[in-house]
Amino acid sequence: MSSTHRFSNVVPLLAVLGSVTALGIGTSLAKQLFAQVGSLGTTALRVGFSALIVLVLWRPWRWPLSHQDAGSLLRYGVALGGMNLLFYMSLRSIPFGVAVAIEFAGPLAMAMWSSRQRVDFVWLALAVFGLGLLLPFGHQGLVGLDPEGVAYALAAALCWAAYIVFGKRVGHLHAGHSVAWGLTVAALTVVPMGVWHAGAALLSPSVLLYGVMVAGISSALPISLEMLALKRLPQEAFGIMTSLEPAVAAFWGWLMLGEHLGVVQWAAMGCIMLAAAGSSVTARRDVPPSTASELVT
């Protein structure tokens, strides 16, 4: 095998890793805005500027849109907006990596629902065990997690599941078409709440510049890298690589936010990551993956 061929095989893997890394860095940067504009204001900046970026890049008005597709895109965008908003609200009180691991329950549940193979019950058991370690059972909580933060992360997981369902209904559209309109609807959903919460603080030049940077790192760059990877990688390989997201998020949360996880939390995330990787290998392939699946963080 020539070195050029080997390099071409590695490029899609590096693209997925770059996408997950960009999401981790972008979200870690976004969390640093909480002190100035809160989680609602941060969500408004991230999603609002992300929508503007992809609208300029893809210009979706060039393609015709049926009434049925418009309705599907509306639901898809609302789910996307809710997913981002609830996830950022969870970050107020629980670590980044833990929030991502809990949110993975959404796509994992969808994967289990679409496949009835016996081996999938192994992945389900692993995921349930991992979530059981993370959820704050008991008087003080098993690992000291804030129940409200956990509830927001679980709600974000439900929105992620809805996002997958509605995303499949617009899967026949060009990826740039669906992502651009979906993010636009998401922005229309969350930006008013951010403006209501943060008010004039959102208009600070430094905050706006920071918001553009966060949107570029956590949306435009990951989407571009994922589109490159999805064209060249089998779905199972893509799923295995993206299952690294909780660990990557935990790493950047530690490096940039000073968030430290305990042994139990790392073990829980390991179970969930293994379940995600395993389910991506054994899941049925009769339904194509939704586009831009990592728009969460």
Separation of alpha carbons 15 and 40, rounded Å: 30
Give phi and psi for 48, each to the nearest 5: -60, -50
Task: Measure the CA–CA gap between 197 and 190, rounded to whole angstroms.
Answer: 11
> Is residue 217 predicted with pLDDT exceeding 70?
yes
Give me the pLDDT at residue 39, please.
96
Judge whether 194 and 43 are in contact, CB under 8 Å: yes
Give the tokens for residue 202.
């959102």
Q: What is the pLDDT of residues 67-113, one digit of tens each?
A: 999 999 999 999 999 999 999 999 999 999 999 999 988 888 877 77
For residue 287, the model assigns a pLDDT of 45
Q: What are phi and psi of 76, to 5 degrees?
A: -60, -45
Residue 285 near residue 115, CB atoms below 8 Å: no
Instruction: Answer yes or no: are the C-beta atoms of 105 and 157 closer than 8 Å.
Output: yes
Residue 222, helix vs strand vs coil: helix
- Reply yes or no on whether the pLDDT at 236 is more than 70: no
- What pLDDT score does 8 carry? 61
Percent of the chain at pLDDT > 90 equals 46
Q: What is the pLDDT of residues 20-55, one digit of tens each?
A: 999 999 999 999 999 999 999 999 999 999 999 989
Supply φ then ψ for residue 151, to 5 degrees: -60, -40
Q: What is the pLDDT of residue 5?
A: 53
Q: Report CA Rg, the chain.
A: 18
Whether the Cβ atoms of residue 157 and residue 246 lie closer than 8 Å to each other: no
Read off the pLDDT of residues 197-206 as tens digits, 9 standing for 90 and up: 999 999 999 9
Q: How far is CA 171 from the centre of its chain?
A: 18
Distance CA(125)–CA(131), nearest Å, equals: 10
Instruction: Tell me how crowded residue 180 is: count the other CB atoms within 10 A of its CB.
Output: 24
What does the DSSP assignment read for 14-46? HHHHHHHHHHHHHHHHHHTTHHHHHHHHHHHHH
Is the pLDDT reported for residue 292 higher than 70?
no
For the segment 3-17, the average pLDDT, to the nearest whole number, is 70
Q: Give the position of tokens 């050029």.
A: 4
* Integer CA distances (angstroms), 8 to 3, 17, 22, 234, 235, in order: 9, 15, 21, 14, 17
Q: How far apart are CA 97 and CA 265, in angstroms?
A: 9
- Are residues 164 and 106 in contact, defined by beta-carbon separation less than 8 angstroms? yes
pLDDT in tens, 100-151: 999 988 888 877 776 667 777 788 888 888 888 887 765 444 456 888 999 9
Please compute the mean of the pLDDT values over residues 166-172 and round it to a whole number.
85
Q: Rounded mean pLDDT of the chain?
A: 84
Type and span of the H or E element at 122 = helix 119-134
By the 8 A CB rule, do 145 and 94 touch?
yes
283: pLDDT strictly greater than 80: no
Distance CA 103, CA 159 (A): 9
